[in-house]
Structure 1
Amino acid sequence: MKFSSIKPFSIALSVSVLLAGCNGTNSQSGQGNDDNFQVGLILVGPRNDAGWSQAHYEGIEYVQQQMSGVTLEYADKVNPGDRPNVKGSQVADDLIAKGADLIIFNSDDLKDDALATAQKYPNIPVIHASGDSAWQEGQNYQALPNLANVMPKMEYGRMIAGCAAALSSETGRIGFLGPLINDETRRLVSAAYLGARYCWQTYRDRNPEDLNFRVTWIGFWFNIPGVTLEPTKVADDFYNSGYDVVMTGIDTPEAAVQAKKAADSGKNVKFLHYTLRSGCNLAPDVCVGVPTYNWGPSYLKLIQDAQAGNFQSQFIWADPDWQDINNPDTSAVGFVRGEAFSPENNRYLDQFIQGLGDGSINLYQGPLNYQDGTPFVAAGQTATLQQIWYMPQLLEGIEGPSR
């Protein structure tokens, strides 16, 4: 596949009027060629957002590098702020009408659209990147044979990032720029805190009570003027009030941009970007690192199955490759170290990653409490997958609201 052959397209009239300015690609000149397999990708944010949506787009580019004949049409910025009158299911209708053989929805915010599309088109494989509708042991199972959920085990990436943040902080004040509040974001913020607390106490030999870990939620995955908090201001508030390391869970790069500005003004601050391997490039001098989420291998397997007629409903919670967490062909979760991560801390982070991989470090062992003091995991117990996935509160020790 030569990406220079990708050409822009316009979405069909039924939706294109509402999606004015929406982007798309088509990697073949003719439609309906049986030798080609067309993927329809629906992105909640811009495909070049330097974060979440770009990582999914690059995941499909990876598939195209591995498979011949895979073409892509996509719609980005499918969200209530950019497209207030358009549903993701409408966009799927249009992509399927244009010949899409498989549809991907890339956000938890598009869960209802993924379900509606799978129900409406039983012969079209639908992948929801997030969600639990295909998890038979989950709380929201739907018996739809053409629907699959896929997520990396981001909790590991967040633990590693939290550890790196704690190793890099001089003040013990770590800020987390959070999106909206739901089970997913609560578990990821909690995982980051667990990693930070462990490494603060174990490798820094500091009192965990002296670790100040705070999350501020903006209200969505990225800024919607007049609806969310302004992420630039939230990041600045962290940097201006003594938080010397800021992590981000939003899809866009405000934590990085404002860290650079703060550092240029003389503040000793650092940041951790989110999901995209190239995230440190935004401000390399002050980047501790990036927990990366690699969609390529999971998308490749599902698309291969679909092309062969073997697509099955399944819930994929994809593991890191502990032999090489940054292997692009095998690992769903990785961590790229930045220039601001000191070389002397490498051995501690290596020990931490090795411990997570061999099971000698399990941060989900009790006793662990929720913020209100009620038990999350009792002493002597280990959290189940369901307990980890469905978190009604943040964990005790984290500042910031759970709801």
Structure 2
Amino acid sequence: MKFNTLKSFGWFAALWLILTACNNPTPTNREINTTPATDKFTVGLILVGPKNDAGWSQAHYEAMQYVSQKRPNVALEYVDKVNPSDRPNIKGSQVADELIAKGAKLVIFNSDDLKDDAFETAKKHPNIAIIHASGDYSWQEGKNFKNQQNLVNIMPQMEYGRMIAGCAAALSTENGKIGFLGPLINDETRRFVSAAYLGAKHCWENYRKKDIKDLNFKVTWIGFWFNIPGVTLDPTKVADDFYNSGYDVVMTGIDTPEAAVQGKKAAAAGKKVKFLHYTLKTGCDLAPDICLGVPIYNWGPSYLDTVKKAEAGQIKPEFIWGKPDWNNINNPDTSAVGFVVGKALTAENKKTLDRFIKGLGDGSINLYQGPLKFQDGTDFLKAGEKATPQQIWYMPQLLQGIEGKSK
């Protein structure tokens, strides 16, 4: 989904009013945190959703709080809800211009939907460091490389987090029905759903010793990262449809907490259901009694390292696909990917999940090894073939065994 072009009449005034209104502390406004001291290194953060969405955008906001704690000389200015619903006539690049005018020396764009805005800003402001959280324009071995010297792409290797979540789901389902509440469809979301399925498949077959034919893994896409009335499917209804049609574990890939909220209601109505949140370490707090866990992104270490480079004038084009720290995947200073265990995961299943995580870490378990087929029956990986990073990143279809659309 692309942003609409800002109409020429009155655009600057409208944008100025939105940004300056952020200084109002009321929670309904778009806040900007400003620190006017001249010795501060200012970072501008552009969030696609609310900074307190209990998901994706909040994780980025908290990562920058982590950076500010580690680097007291860093000041943060942010604008949230930069999306076609909340700001239909404002481009992310225009928000970036305003942040840079306020003194930002580094600007972070936190959504795949902002990739062109990030690139446009990098070209327009070659002396400003730009981070695009996701994307591949700085990946020299990727399909979409653009040689822009001040652009950095950062994305944790969340495939592992999704595999772990899929395993937890497969270990915990009582009837083999796992639902996945999906956002829009692209390479990124296809690879994450496929990774979750691979984790579920492995643990279903190898630990529970069950036939893969008895595992029903279904994804329903709503059409964006969160609900846009009249544009997307209503994620509340999609979550309810899963719980009401017998899916006893629901995973989520959207930015907002409908899987948790509706799961809590279903459990209160007597249904034996569980859910897995994602991206935010406190996600289980939404419904702790039925939460199996949360695969988390930890943007803090990569953001901190890049901020240090920007302060030193050492930014260069980088594609950072952040790895888990297999010695401790929940180490906030070293691991880009983690998994927070929820109250609903039994002690026995936690032991099995730990065994699975250990196998991923030491390489004895490689789920990206053939034979694996796409939904249409063509080969993703032939027997014995191991996937390249490019094959994993650019996932053109869902894998065979997943119910749901690939395009």
Scaled by the length of structure 2, what TM-score is found? 0.94
**Aligned match of 1:24 in 16, 23, 31?**
31
Conservation of the 8 A alpha-carbon contact between 1:366 and 1:377: yes
Aligned partner of 1:314 in structure 2 is 318
Conservation of the 8 A alpha-carbon contact between 1:326 and 1:336: yes
Counterpart CA distance in 2 for 1:378 and 1:270 is 35
Question: Secondary structure of the residue that 2:315 maps to in structure 1?
Answer: coil
Q: CA offsets, 1:255-291, max 9 Å, x none? A: 0000000000000000000100000000000000000
**Aligned match of 1:385 in 377, 389, 394?**
389
Question: Secondary structure of the residue that 1:198 maps to in structure 2?
Answer: helix
Instruction: Point out where structure 2 has 5 or more consecutive residues left out of the alignment.
Output: 1-10, 22-27
Aligned partner of 2:3 in structure 1 is none
Q: Does 1:102 align with 2:106?
A: yes
Aligned partner of 2:333 in structure 1 is 329
Scaled by the length of structure 1, what TM-score is found? 0.95
Q: Does 1:164 align with 2:168?
A: yes
**Aligned match of 1:64 in 68, 78, 84?**
68
Q: CA offsets, 1:218-247, max 9 Å, x none? A: 000000000000000000000000000000
Question: Secondary structure of the residue that 2:179 maps to in structure 1?
Answer: strand
Output aligned runs, 1:229-244, within 5 Å. Answer: 229-244=233-248
Counterpart CA distance in 1 for 2:228 and 2:271 is 28
Conservation of the 8 A alpha-carbon contact between 1:18 and 1:85: no
Q: CA offsets, 1:354-384, max 9 Å, x none? A: 0000000000000000000000011111010
Counterpart CA distance in 2 for 1:251 and 1:257 is 13
Q: Does 1:395 align with 2:402?
A: no
Conservation of the 8 A alpha-carbon contact between 1:18 and 1:83: no
1:43 aligned partner, one-letter code: L
Aligned partner of 1:365 in structure 2 is 369
Q: Does 1:212 align with 2:216?
A: yes
Counterpart CA distance in 2 for 1:26 and 1:81 is 23
Output aligned runs, 1:65-144, within 5 Å. Answer: 65-144=69-148
Counterpart CA distance in 2 for 1:15 and 1:126 is 21
Aligned partner of 1:198 in structure 2 is 202
By how many angstroms is 1:24 displaced?
2.7
Aligned partner of 2:250 in structure 1 is 246
Question: Secondary structure of the residue that 1:118 maps to in structure 2?
Answer: helix
1:362 aligned partner, one-letter code: N
1:115 aligned partner, one-letter code: F
By how many angstroms is 1:17 displaced?
3.8
Conservation of the 8 A alpha-carbon contact between 1:22 and 1:77: no
Conservation of the 8 A alpha-carbon contact between 2:138 and 2:152: yes
2:33 aligned partner, one-letter code: N
Question: Secondary structure of the residue that 1:247 maps to in structure 2?
Answer: strand
Conservation of the 8 A alpha-carbon contact between 2:18 and 2:30: no
Percentage of matched positions with identical amino acids:
71
Conservation of the 8 A alpha-carbon contact between 1:18 and 1:86: no
1:15 aligned partner, one-letter code: L
By how many angstroms is 1:346 displaced?
1.5
Question: Secondary structure of the residue that 1:246 maps to in structure 2?
Answer: strand
Conservation of the 8 A alpha-carbon contact between 1:22 and 1:75: no
Aligned partner of 2:4 in structure 1 is none
Q: How well do the aligned residues superpose, as a CA RMSD in angstroms?
A: 1.2
Aligned partner of 1:224 in structure 2 is 228
Aligned partner of 1:15 in structure 2 is 15
Q: CA offsets, 1:280-324, max 9 Å, x none? A: 000000000000000000000000000011111100000000000
1:289 aligned partner, one-letter code: G
Aligned partner of 1:148 in structure 2 is 152
Q: Does 1:352 align with 2:356?
A: yes
Counterpart CA distance in 2 for 1:65 and 1:27 is 16
Aligned partner of 1:8 in structure 2 is none
Counterpart CA distance in 2 for 1:24 and 1:265 is 38
Q: CA offsets, 1:166-202, max 9 Å, x none? A: 0010010000000000000000000000000000011
Counterpart CA distance in 1 for 2:272 and 2:265 is 11
Counterpart CA distance in 2 for 1:24 and 1:229 is 28
By how many angstroms is 1:209 displaced?
1.1
Instruction: Point out where structure 1 has 5 or more consecutive residues left out of the alignment.
Output: 1-10
Aligned partner of 1:42 in structure 2 is 46
Question: Secondary structure of the residue that 2:292 maps to in structure 1?
Answer: strand
1:173 aligned partner, one-letter code: K
Question: Secondary structure of the residue that 1:25 maps to in structure 2?
Answer: coil
**Aligned match of 2:379 in 339, 360, 375?**
375
Counterpart CA distance in 1 for 2:94 and 2:351 is 50
Conservation of the 8 A alpha-carbon contact between 1:118 and 1:144: yes
Aligned partner of 2:55 in structure 1 is 51
Question: Secondary structure of the residue that 1:356 maps to in structure 2?
Answer: helix
By how many angstroms is 1:16 displaced?
3.4
Question: Secondary structure of the residue that 1:383 maps to in structure 2?
Answer: coil
By how many angstroms is 1:347 displaced?
1.5
Change (3 A) 1:82 1:14: closer
2:137 aligned partner, one-letter code: S
By how many angstroms is 1:43 displaced?
0.2
By how many angstroms is 1:344 displaced?
0.9
Counterpart CA distance in 2 for 1:305 and 1:18 is 31
Question: Secondary structure of the residue that 1:205 maps to in structure 2?
Answer: coil
**Aligned match of 1:299 in 284, 296, 303?**
303
Q: CA offsets, 1:92-129, max 9 Å, x none? A: 00000111110000000101100000000000000000
